Each structure stands twice: as C-alpha cells, then as structure tokens.
Structure 1
C-alpha cells in the first residue's frame, strides 16, 4: 500500500512556438486544462502501475472534480480534505520541442493539518510506503509518524529545496531527484548524494536514463527510445511507477526498468495526470 502526501492542482496548458523571454507577450497556439500536481500525478501513476494508493491532500471548493477524477483513475480518496481556500493550480507553457516552464499557485496544498495527515497514517501498516514531494506542508510530521509506524519513506525532491531534504535526513529510505537537483544538493550539503545516509538514491537523467546509488555501489540504466513532445509529468510518472513496482514486490532493478518504460511513453503525450499510461499499455508496447 502507498500513502501519498501530495499536491493536487488544476493544470492549465498553453502551447507556444517558443518559451517566452522576459517581458515578451506571446500568443498561445492551443489551450487545455486537466488534473495535475506532482502528488496527483504520482498517485495516478502508482495506481496505473497496479498498486493500491491512498492520496493525502486538500482541494478548495472549485476542486471537487479533481477528487472524482482521482477516484476514476483508481486512487483512494477518503483522506483528501475539502477546505475553504482555492485549489492549487499550475500554468504550464510548452514549446514545440516539448520543454516547458511552469508558474505554480500552492493554494490548499499547503493548508494541510497534522490531524488530516495523522488520521490517514493511522490506517497504514508496517512496510507500507509513504510517498512525498515538496509541494505540501506537513512533510516532517508525516515522515516522523511514518517512520514510527514502520513505513518506508520515499521523497521526490521537487520542487527542489535543499533545506527540505536536510530536514528529513535520517527518515528517508529512497530519494528520487533529477541530475540538476542532485548537483544542487551536493553543493548545499558539501557531500555526495550517496554519502548522506540515505539507503537508496535514484537520480533521473532525462533521455540518458537514470543512476541508482546504494550502499552496494552505483548502477546505470539507459532510457528507452522516445520522441518527446511534452516532458511535463514524466518525472512524476517515473516515480509513481517506481514506487508501485517496489510495493508490488519487484526488486529495484525491475522497478526502475518499469518506471523508465512508463516515462518513455509519457513524454510522447501532451498532458499530465490524465494521459499517464497504464500497465497494459506498457506491456503491449514493450512486451510483457
């Protein structure tokens, strides 16, 4: 079982000829909206990876449809609070090559109480997973509670903030971050990421695959070929599938391989949570 303390956003997408420069006004070629937020993306990915996942989060009055959408995608939703503050949202600008920039409004995602988080985790069992990202409040409380209950803590270090990771050192079992974030963390701490006392660290490398660092050494994995049209949500898809694989009893090698396959399909699609591939699509595309 995966308990995901994560953000829920309403994503708004604007396709543009190129990413705008400072002071530039640029007409969008197309517009769309859908379910997003790193937390929601990872919950959907984990559910589509055949894991049972319960989302811990919050939305505002206009965000009730996001809860319904998560439920449709197989995510348990009893621990999503409806608060009297706006739902988080993200304005996502995507250029034709698939690169993007994002303006994020946190809203209800940072209004979670310890009571909401604690009520969810009291239902967890030892060896369950607690998955978190840096888009909600309550991370230290959740990690401390999860550790006391015997859960395995996975932290996806985005949006990156070195202090948020340092605050959780000693409580993280698996850290997932990208190459730039890994460099920033090493600069901030003065230590290599594999010297921080975290049992497993996965560093994603985009089109170059990923690195897995553990107390047994380092192993590299190549990415699967893909024609990227939109990289939004690809890292979240990777992480959700990685934790789903581990929760289903896969070893790290197999879980990483599954996550890379999911990421390769995801970058070929436009959108976020609504277009994350399911396990059957991955099996059909790559073979069982």
Structure 2
C-alpha cells in the first residue's frame, strides 16, 4: 500500500530563545538552525521512517530544491512535487528553554498546488491506499472527494485549525486527528463531540497526557504518554500522526499503532528540530523510557 500525502513543505528557521517573545519585545536569539519542515513534510518523513511507502504531493519554489532532495534522502517519493514560481513555504519558530514554541507560518508554494498535479498523482493510487491532508495546502476538498470516490482511506490532520476547513472535508473522512482545543472548537461548530462525528476513527491528542481514541463501535480509549524531559515539542504531533498512519497502512490494530506513535513522539520531543531528526522505527522500538 501507499500513503499519499497532500502536504506542505517548509524551511523551518528555528531560533533558540530564553523565553517566548512578548508583544512589543525585542529578544536576542541564542542560536539558529534551519530544518526541513511543514506539517506535510514532517508526516511524510515520519511515515516513511516508520516503514511505509510514502508519495508526497506538494510544491516548492525555485529556492526549494534542497527540500525536495532531502525528502528523497529520507525515503519519500518526491515525483509529485512541483516547482512553482511562488517562494517555498517557511516557518519562523521560537523555542524556549522549556521546549515550548511559537510559530509564524508563510504558506508560499504550499498554496500553489494545481488540480492537474493532484489528479496525475492520484491516478496511480489504488483502493486501500491512504490519503492524508493537513490545513497547510490548497486543494483539500478536491483531494478528499477524489480519494473517497476512488476507495482510498481519507485522513485529515486538522491543523492549523479552521472549523470551516474541517467541515468542508468531513463528508469524505475515514480518520481525523486533532488536539484537545481543536476538538472543543469543532464541537462548538458542529454540536458534535468526537464520538458523535461521522468519521470512523478519531484521535484527540492530549499533549503530555497522551491521546484518546474514538471509534463509533466502542467506548473511547486513553493512551498515556511516556514521561520524558522535553527540549523541543516542534514536530512531535506530526511524528505521532505519521506513525499512526504508517500503522494503519501496515495493517496494525489502531491501539498498537497509537502505542508505537506515542513512543515516537516521546523520543521526538527530546531532540531539537523537525523532519531531519524524526526517529526511525528501529530507534522507536529500542527506546527506553523511565
């Protein structure tokens, strides 16, 4: 099977700061690193490192060839990444001494994905493949409808959260993942709790508390997170999602996929960076937590 990811590709400019900037404050950074990032690229790398075949559908600008090459190095099929005139997307990320972050996102080429590129990519998909999307690109509604009609499992990571974007793709979804705040916002928009949504699989991530899984045939199940000392939470949620998707792709029971994803996310927060430092399956399986 293949995971098709209609996903963002960013240059993540990560600044180490003593604390997150306050309004009007000029703050000297203690360090700067550039990483491959974007929720889409992070999920593609995570799913590939978890053992799945991943084909990324996206776009970069003339300045983005390095990002495409790096995805290839990490085992992602990049033949469906177009080069467009818009600049490559990028994020300015401040990370404080406690591992918390704030992010400014420039969408750039991520919103220049053509319908022809999407249709050409999915023409090679097969029933039973997965399509995953996030709210950092255009063409999500078209992709969701197309994949649903083709018999793909349609997955959506509802971030950055916009209730209108979720509601637009909701009729096509088989899997939805969002955090606790986003779940409450969606409930306010729809009147439905996660267990009442017309989606077979729903996961609500709870940060350091773990995750809660909702399935329409059973009671919600909680999965505890591993206790670690975080240094950078950036990309941890994307790592979790990529590992869950890979577990689904490889036929794992959802509970087993979530347990593995929790291990990957716990390992990820002990590292500085985004896609470039996502752990592979061997590291995740061998990790020891206190």
Indicate the residue corresponding to 1:30 in structure 2: 31
1:134-149 correspondence runs (5 A): 134-149=135-150
SS at match of 1:217: coil
CA distance in 2, matches of 1:239, 1:130: 13
Q: TM-score, normalised by structure 1?
A: 0.98
SS at match of 2:248: helix
State the 1:272 CA deviation.
Answer: 0.1
User: Structure 2, unaligned stretches of length 5 or more?
Assistant: none
CA distance in 2, matches of 1:11, 1:240: 18
State the 1:227 CA deviation.
Answer: 1.1
1:97-131 Cα distance to aligned partner (Å, 9 max, x none): 00000000000000111101110001000000000
State the 1:226 CA deviation.
Answer: 1.4
Indicate the residue corresponding to 1:131 in structure 2: 132
State the 1:166 CA deviation.
Answer: 0.5
Query: How many pairs align?
Result: 287
State the 1:286 CA deviation.
Answer: 4.5
Indicate the residue corresponding to 2:243 in structure 1: 241
CA distance in 1, matches of 2:125, 2:80: 12
1:72-102 Cα distance to aligned partner (Å, 9 max, x none): 0000000000011100000000010000000
1:223-247 Cα distance to aligned partner (Å, 9 max, x none): 1121111000000000000000110
CA distance in 2, matches of 1:27, 1:169: 43
1:9-24 correspondence runs (5 A): 9-24=10-25
SS at match of 1:198: coil
Indicate the residue corresponding to 1:94 in structure 2: 95
Indicate the residue corresponding to 1:109 in structure 2: 110
Indicate the residue corresponding to 1:185 in structure 2: 186
1:11-43 Cα distance to aligned partner (Å, 9 max, x none): 101010000100000000111101000000000
CA RMSD of aligned residues (A): 0.9
CA distance in 1, matches of 2:269, 2:185: 25
Tell me which moved more, 184-193 or 157-166. 184-193
User: Runs in 1 of length 4+ with deviation above 3 angstroms?
Assistant: none
User: Structure 1, unaligned stretches of length 5 or more?
Assistant: none
